[in-house]
Amino acid sequence: MTDDMQTLSIDERGYYGEFGGAYIPEILHKCVTDLRESYLRIMESERFRADFDALLRDYVGRPSPLYLSRQLSERFGAKVYLKREDLNHTGAHKINNTIGQILIAREMGKTRIIAETGAGQHGVATATVCALMQMPCTVYMGKTDVERQQVNVKKMQMMGATVVPVTSGNMTLKDATNEAIRDWCSHPVDTHYIIGSTIGPHPYPDLVARLQSVISREIKVQLTEKEGRDYPDWLVACVGGGSNAAGTIYEYLNNDKVRILLAEAGGKGVESGESAATIHLGKAGVLHGCRTLLMQNEDGQITEPYSISAGLDYPGIGPIHAYLAQIKRAQVLAITDDEALRAAYELTRREGIIPALESAHALAALEKVSFAPGEVVVLTLSGRGDKDLETYFRYEDQFAL
Ligand SMILES: *Cc1c(COP(=O)(O)O)cnc(C)c1O
C-alpha cells in the first residue's frame, strides 16, 4: 500500500479512491467552496482549538472513559476495552461534530443553522449546540420519523429548534436530507448546514472525520496509560454514515498493526430484502453530494434501507468507509437485528451498561472473529440505550437472559 492508501487523506477534489467528491447544484457552489477553503484554517486556529477543547471538556464531559470490560474480556479471551461515547452530553458521539461545526459556522459569519435527522439524534445534538450558541435552528425530519420519535421532536422544540416534517418520498431520512439541501439552496449566504455524519459533498466527510478524531486521540493517551503502548490490536465500531467509526480509526490508519472491524446493519439478513448493509449490497452511485456505495435497484433508484436501529438505516455510507472496505483496510460485517438485540441484552446484564442499538451491532461483531489470547480490543460504544428502551422492551421475552 502506498502512504496515501493508508491515511484518510483525500485529494484536492475530495476523493478517497473512486469515492467522495462534491456533486452539488450550481447555487451551492460558492458556499461549499467557502467551507472547503476555510475549514482547515479555522480548525487549526488558536481560537477554534481553545473553544472546541474547552467545550468538549466542560460541556460534553470529555475525555470519555476507556473502560476495560472484565466480562467481555473473559468471554472473548482478549482485553476488551469500551470507549464510552455513551457518557457524553446528549448520550452519543454526535455532539463532538455539532460543537465543532457550529464553531466553524460562527467563524464564517453564519447566523442560521439547518440540519437533517432520521431518528432525531443528530437533530437533538444540533438543537443543543444552537441553544448553547443562541443560533436559530431548523431541523428537517421525515414525517414518518416525526411520528416515530416524539421524544426527540419534543426535545428539539424544547431547545428552541423548528422541526419541519417532510412529506415527500418515503418521509424518512433521505427525504429530510433532500429538503435540507433545498433549504440551503435558498439561503446559501447566511446558513450553515450541519451534516451529521461522514457523508455529503467534500469537505463534509473530511470535516466530520476530523472533528470526531478526538475519539482516537484520546484512545492513544488512554491506552498508553493502561497498556504501555498507544495502539490496540483491533478497533471495532458500528457504521451508519460512518462518523463514530471514522473518529475511532482516524489516528490509526497508518498503523497496519491495528485491524479495523466495522459493523453495518444487516437488518433481517443481508439477503432478506430488509437490510441496511450498504457495503455488502451497495453499488456505486451519487447521493446527497458524494459518490459512494448506495442501496439501489436496477434502475439506480435508491431503495429504502431497513434496520431495527434508526441510526444505521441510511441508504449510503461515508465514502471513507466505502474506500477502506474496497482496499480491504477495514473488514466489514453485517449484523442482524437479532444479533444486535442479543448483544445489547448481554452487555446490559453483564456490565450494567445499556448500549444504543447502533453500538450493539459493534458488540455483536465481537462474536464473529477470533482473537489471539491477550490481544487488545477497543470497541467504541457510540451511544447509550435510553432512546431505544421501547424497542428493547418489545423483545424482552425473546432476549432477556
Ligand atoms: C447516529 C448514530 C450512529 C450512526 O452514525 P455514524 O455516523 O455511523 O457514527 C451510531 N451510534 C449512535 C449512538 C448514533 O446516534
Task: Find the catalytic residue in 94, 155, 174, 387.
Answer: 94
Residue 213 has pLDDT above 50, yes or no: yes
**pLDDT the model gives residue 401:** 67
**Rounded distance between C-alpha atoms, residue 69 and residue 285, angstroms:** 40
- The DSSP secondary structure of 95-133, one letter per residue, reads HHHHHHHHHHHHHTT--EEEEEESSSHHHHHHHHHHHHH
Class of the domain covering 61-91+213-399: alpha beta
Of 82, 93, 122, best ligand 1 pocket probe by most atoms within 8 Å of the beta carbon: 93
CATH of segment(s) 24-56+94-199: 3.40.50.1100
- Average pLDDT over the chain, rounded to an integer: 95
**pLDDT the model gives residue 148:** 83
Q: Using 50, 70 and 90 to split pLDDT, how confident is the model at 2?
A: very low
- 19's grid cell: 469515492
**Rounded distance between C-alpha atoms, residue 76 and residue 60, angstroms:** 31
From the list 56, 58, 78, 53, the residue with the least C-alpha distance to 68 is: 78
**Rounded distance between C-alpha atoms, residue 179 and residue 167, angstroms:** 10
- Residue range 337-373, pLDDT digits in tens: 999 999 999 999 999 999 999 999 999 999 999 999 9
Tell how far CA 131 is from the center of its chain. 22
Q: Which residues on neighbouring strands pair with residue 334, listed in sequence order?
A: 264
**Rounded distance between C-alpha atoms, residue 339 and residue 4, angstroms:** 35
Q: Name the residue with the closest Cα to ligand 1, atom 14.
A: 311
From the list 33, 9, 11, 6, the residue with the least C-alpha distance to 21 is: 11
Residues in contact with 208: Cβ distance below 8 Å, sequence separation at least 6, in sequence order: 97, 195, 196, 197, 198, 243, 246
116 among known catalytic residues: yes
Residue with the three cell numbers 428552541: 160
Atom of ligand 1 nearest to the CA of 384: 13
Residue 264 has pLDDT above 50, yes or no: yes
CA distances from 124 to 33, 128, 175 (A): 27, 6, 18
**pLDDT more than 90, % of the chain:** 89
Q: Which residues on neighbouring strands pair with residue 377, listed in sequence order?
A: 80, 234
Asked if residue 203 has a cis previous peptide bond (ω within 30° of 0), the answer is yes
Residues in contact with 370: Cβ distance below 8 Å, sequence separation at least 6, in sequence order: none
**Rounded distance between C-alpha atoms, residue 341 and residue 368, angstroms:** 15
| Residue 165 φ then ψ, to 5° | -75, 130
**pLDDT the model gives residue 109:** 97
Q: Name the residue with the closest Cα to ligand 1, atom 3.
A: 311
- Contact assessment for residue 281 and residue 256, using Cβ atoms and an 8 Å cutoff: no
- Contact assessment for residue 314 and residue 304, using Cβ atoms and an 8 Å cutoff: no
- Residue range 118-136, pLDDT digits in tens: 989 999 999 999 999 999 9
Residue with the three cell numbers 436496477: 298
* Rounded distance from Cα 94 to ligand 1 centre (Å): 7
Of 85, 89, 194, 238, best ligand 1 pocket probe by most atoms within 8 Å of the beta carbon: 238
Residue with the three cell numbers 489516528: 251
Q: Where are the domains of the chain?
A: 24-56+94-199, 61-91+213-399
* Rounded distance from Cα 25 to ligand 1 centre (Å): 27
Asked if residue 63 has a cis previous peptide bond (ω within 30° of 0), the answer is yes
**pLDDT the model gives residue 6:** 44
**pLDDT the model gives residue 12:** 80
Of 94, 116, 213, 381, best ligand 1 pocket probe by most atoms within 8 Å of the beta carbon: 94
* Rounded distance from Cα 229 to ligand 1 centre (Å): 28
Collapsing DSSP to helix, strand or coil, 169 comes out as coil
- Residue range 34-63, pLDDT digits in tens: 999 999 999 999 999 999 999 999 999 999
Residue with the three cell numbers 467481555: 72
**pLDDT the model gives residue 8:** 63
Ligand 1 neighbours by CB, cut-off 6 Å: 92, 94, 121, 197, 238-245, 311-312, 356, 358-359, 382-383
CB atoms within 10 A of CB 298: 6
- Contact assessment for residue 267 and residue 277, using Cβ atoms and an 8 Å cutoff: yes
Hey, what's the torsion of the CAs at 293, 298, 299, 304, to 10 degrees? -60
- 195's grid cell: 451534516
**pLDDT the model gives residue 317:** 96
- 120's grid cell: 432525531
Higher-pLDDT residue of 263 and 12 is: 263
94 among known catalytic residues: yes
Residue 107 has pLDDT above 80, yes or no: yes
pTM: predicted TM-score of the whole model, two decimal places: 0.96
**pLDDT the model gives residue 9:** 67
**Rounded distance between C-alpha atoms, residue 236 and residue 28, angstroms:** 36
**pLDDT the model gives residue 4:** 44
Strand 112-117 to 191-193 pairing: parallel
**pLDDT the model gives residue 360:** 98
**pLDDT the model gives residue 58:** 98
Residues in contact with 273: Cβ distance below 8 Å, sequence separation at least 6, in sequence order: none
307 among known catalytic residues: no
HSE-up (13 A, CA, CB side) for residue 162: 10
**Rounded distance between C-alpha atoms, residue 308 and residue 336, angstroms:** 9
Residue 172 has pLDDT above 90, yes or no: no
- 21's grid cell: 467528491
Same CATH topology for 24-56+94-199 and 61-91+213-399: the answer is yes
Burial level of 101, CB count in 10 A (0-12/13-18/19+)?
A: buried
**pLDDT the model gives residue 252:** 98
